[in-house]
Chain A
Amino acid sequence: MKIELKKSGQHNRHKDVAAAVVWTTSGSLVSAGDDHRVLQWNETLDDASELINLKEEWYPTSVAVGPNPKRSQGDVFAIAFDDGKFRLMAQTGRIEKTVEAHTGAITTLRWSADGQSILTAGEDGLMKVWSRAGMLRTVLAQSAQPVYGAAWSPCGSRAIHTAGKHVAVVSLKATAKAETWKAHDGVVLCVDWGAASNLIVSGGEDGRYKVWDAFGRLLYASTPDLYPITSCRWSPTGDAFAVGGYNSVRLCDRAGWSYAVDKPATGSVYEVQWSHDGTRLAGACASGDVLLGQLVMRSVSSPRYVVTQTGPATLIARSIAANTDEELDFREPIVKMVLRFGHLVVTTATQCVVYAEDNWLSPSTIMLKAPAVAVTLGRSHIALADKTDTITVYTYDGKTASTIKPPHAQSDRFSATSIAVADDTVAIIDHRDAKAVRVYDTQSGKEMGKPLVHSVEISTILLDQGGASLDRCLAFVDKNRDLCIVQVRRSQRRAEKIATMVSDAMWHDDHHMLATLQEAKLQLWFYPACAFVDQDMLSFTKQGVVTGGDLGKAPYLTSFSGNTCSVRRADGASMTFSVPPQVAVLQSHTSRNAWEDAIRLCRFIKEDALWACLAVIATKAKELNAAEIAYAAVNAIDKVEFLQLVKSIPTAEGRKAELAVFSGQIEEAATTLLQAGLIYRLVDMYIRLFDWDKALDVAIKHKTHVDTVLASRQRYLEGLGQRESKAKFVQYSQSVEVDWDDIQLKIQQALEAEKQRPGATPYV
């Protein structure tokens, strides 16, 4: 990635320091300077027109653009001045309101994402929140030192500000305590909180810029530059940020390492601002110059192609094997490009163009109603979130599959990590409550069931691509970095936590396999769904990958397909590791019900991990013979014995229920037995689970085996040396006679009756 920077001409630029730049809602660039002018620049930065002429004694320090309540009248500019006032001005220059906000200069002014509030910070050490009409809401922070930088959190419920060498995160709720930490060795001059990345970047007079997560954990610290870092800003896409210093503009990856640095001779860059689509960057410089940069040399790759952006509207797709180039031209500047699942998806302001990897000549083109803010790919679908807070799902041939309008959605908070799409399911993190995930059907666009609610905020969601629809697995990483998986298309959604300290995770492109990065180690999960079948096998079916050295701080996964898995390290190095191919082969055998082949493969490979996978898959498919062989191979004798017991059960329902109990799905087992009318089995199941109340309830309801429950309970209490404490049992033990011989007889009768049922044979 690179930025092609352009400097404003000598004649147009500000006569004195340019203090602030801002992008208007319509996408044009506006700058304000100490020469008391607010300039609007054209696309190419050749020409500037004076938008507002400020009074002689007004020195602007910061400018933000907010929505106008009356949309027809254009934007509202909130301009902060060095005398501590800020003014709300219309595009025509008319002053709507003057607010005396701070003593001393206002250093930063930021409009909230929803456009309802304004954040100001000043030299007096205060940070205040104002309504969009300029009424004071709260004084958020008071510090002894001047506040040079401040920013909203992505959800707008918190704000971060600098104070000397420290930064502090303050909540808008009065009860929450501020979190303060020392960020730099020099005064901190700028800070920004990425809406899409939810990461914080700060820059200080020590010449370093640092990346923090939302809890203030340091993710990256740069090597010191000779001069202070004066500005920093996250790209709206969340995958990069820009840093401005003395004579320098640097473009960095979200992990912190630097993509490119440009050295315009313009003095300190006091502010950098990304355009709304994240493809252009503007800067305000001490020399009075305004900078405009175009993002180029973005690159995406698949195992077969590398696609690189060479100009604003041109791409080159290079085949890795044949080393041939294919040039792709677009009518408008490229906003986003994604390459996965054999397809390249490119969006511009009005179009979404889809190429199949082998067919660069005839792409399918989708006309967009609004600019896209996030693109997520699945194996056969594209989910595209746009400015109108809508997600549209397309197939790769350009047909609309469905349109989803999630409630409370805010377009600027959509990102590739908050949307997941698979053949049959679309999942979206709720924007009002980040603990909830909404699940939709890909084809109909209807929400399936209630939102899935987790105990803490969810940061990333992923859907697996292979496998049956009913087994569709959603993996999510929450803010405590715990990885949970849940089968979203089941009526009973049970989230199973399978790993902790997960910094990133990715499903395999074709199979039910998961790669995770845990404490800088790459871990492969050959069949994570065994958490729903047999938890004990989870540790057998995972495998750490020997990475040959540390992966460093905050690495992330870039691809996981075929037999390879790629990781991007924090220092920018990309590392590719091989993935054992046998798991994919095993999964393709079992999906065809070729159990003999699967067993032969396992015997050939002779690995516990593979046997464990087979054991779980076979158990799930109720293929008991294969499961028995597989469990025997991993020395799980208890499970082999259990399976033999299950095989001896004469009815299919009985076996099904027993296997459901095995995988912890008690309710499913109970329903199965109840539907089949196997009351004794149900009572017996509850007794074995020591769920006495339910056992008794069932027995009473069906007026049978009440004595069995009572007798078993009695024996259980005697064994523990305790007395009966449940009132219901006391009551029934008085009225019902308990005779063990009689009970044994009844049980025999019940089992006999089961054997006599039509079609009842033990499992073969």
Chain B
Amino acid sequence: MSYRDLRNFTEMLRTLEFPRLVSIDNFRQPNFPLVAEILIWIIRRIDATATIPTDVEDETDRVLFVKAVAQFMATKLHLRLNTKRLYEADGHAVKELIKATSLLYNALKSQNEEAPQGGESGPPVTLSDFNLTSKIGELKVRAGAGVPAFMDEYEKLEAELAKTYETYIEKFRNISYLEQELEQHNRTEQDKLEETEQQLKRMQARLRDEEMRMMRGSDETFGLGGDMDHSDEETDSDADLETEPRGVATYGSMRGGMDSDEGSDLSDSFGDIDDDDDDDDLGGLGDDLDDDQSDLSDDAF
């Protein structure tokens, strides 16, 4: 193992957007789970449908896994990996891994390089080129270079692009309309629910009041009845006033509960990230790849 290999390897993983941060010191000690995770990730990047045993708990599983990986690399990428070294899962394994990652890395690099180069082609036209003779000369040069031939193709492609863009816009508009509709529907539904709930509450309160009145009814004198009613109404409305905020409070607390649940979820996931920061966990590999996928999204935080 060497410093340069580790440095370049971690750099390649960063550039290829490997979901974890891999420390330069991760391979000082054998770390099979991490090596396995990287290998699986490389294979998935090359062929998302490839079937590779993902169980690397005990020795035989690991041997099988390494064999399968080596076979995959040999058939798909024509890469010969040293299985023994891969199994060691330390600095020597990095030398093998780097063969595969550099393939991806160089592909990405050359792709990036081509993009700006394409944009740069063609002589630059500046405002000072208003001299006609030079312009004509330039046109002649262009004609010689066969620019019009590409022009046709360019126009065709442009028309196609315009059409595709139109359909895209239409679809986008449709989907946003539908989304809005759905949202509105959800909102009215929610409102309705709240309203019935509140009504229920109000009814309950009224029933309770009535019950109280009936219980008190025997003690009350007859003459005060009218006043009583009035005061009752007052209390009723008071109760309404009370229940209303209470209802809101319930609703609030419900939402608050949801919020707090979400909050705790969030904090849990942050906790996960914190755990991930640990070196030990950096190398850890979940049994299930799906789990890793969720880890991935966590890391995106």
Contact = CB atoms under 8 A, between A and B. Distances in A.
A43 B99 CA distance: 37
A187 B21 CA distance: 12
Contacts of B277: 185-186, 206
Interface string A261-287: 000010110100000000000000011
A346 interface: no
A180 B112 CA distance: 44
A268 B113 CA distance: 17
Contacts of A227: 14, 21
B111 interface: no
Contacts of B4: 34, 59, 61, 82, 105
Contacts of B25: 145-146, 164, 187
A34 B3 CA distance: 13
A60 to B, nearest CB: 10
Contact of B24 (A61, A104, A205): A205
Interface string A28-70: 0000001000000000000000000000000101000000000
Contacts of A61: 3-4
Given A187-B24, A227-B21, A10 B3 contact: no
Interface residues of B, number: 18
Given A10-B117, A286-B11, A228 B21 contact: yes
Given A82-B2, A107-B3, A189 B117 contact: no
Contacts of B112: 265
Contact of B21 (A82, A148, A205, A286): A205
B15 interface: yes
A287 B14 CA distance: 12
A104 B4 CA distance: 10
B173 interface: no
Contacts, number: 57
Contacts of A270: 7
B180 interface: no
A474 interface: no
Contacts of A267: 11, 14-15
Interface string B89-128: 0000000000000000000010011000100000000000
Contacts of B28: 145-146
Contact of A186 (B2, B8, B14, B23): B23
A267 to B, nearest CB: 6
A137 B127 CA distance: 65
A104 B3 contact: yes
A287 B112 CA distance: 11
A148 B24 contact: yes
A185 B276 CA distance: 12
Interface in A92-108: 104-105, 107
Interface string B1-26: 01110011001001100000101110
Interface string A193-228: 000000000000110000000000000000000111
A10 B118 CA distance: 13
A186 B2 CA distance: 20
A523 B189 CA distance: 63
A117 to B, nearest CB: 23
B87 to A, nearest CB: 23
A226 B25 CA distance: 18
Which of B3, B8, B14, B277 has the largest count of A CB atoms less than 10 A from its CB?
A: B3
B11 A268 contact: yes
Contacts of A246: 11, 14
A205 B23 contact: yes
A164 B25 CA distance: 8
Contacts of A268: 11, 14
Contacts of A145: 25, 28
A17 interface: yes
A123 interface: yes
Nearest to B14: A246
Task: Choose among B7, B112, B117 the residue with the greatest number of A CB atoms under 10 Å from its CB.
Answer: B7
A82 B5 CA distance: 10
18 contacts: A10-B117, A34-B4, A59-B4, A61-B4, A82-B4, A104-B3, A105-B3, A123-B2, A164-B25, A186-B277, A187-B23, A189-B24, A205-B21, A205-B23, A205-B24, A246-B14, A267-B15, A286-B8
List the 3 closest A-B pairs by CB distance, nearest first: A105-B3, A82-B4, A286-B11
Given A186-B23, A286-B11, A286-B15, 20 more contacts: A10-B117, A17-B8, A17-B11, A34-B8, A59-B4, A61-B4, A82-B3, A82-B4, A145-B28, A146-B3, A187-B23, A187-B25, A189-B24, A205-B21, A206-B277, A228-B21, A246-B11, A267-B11, A267-B14, A267-B15
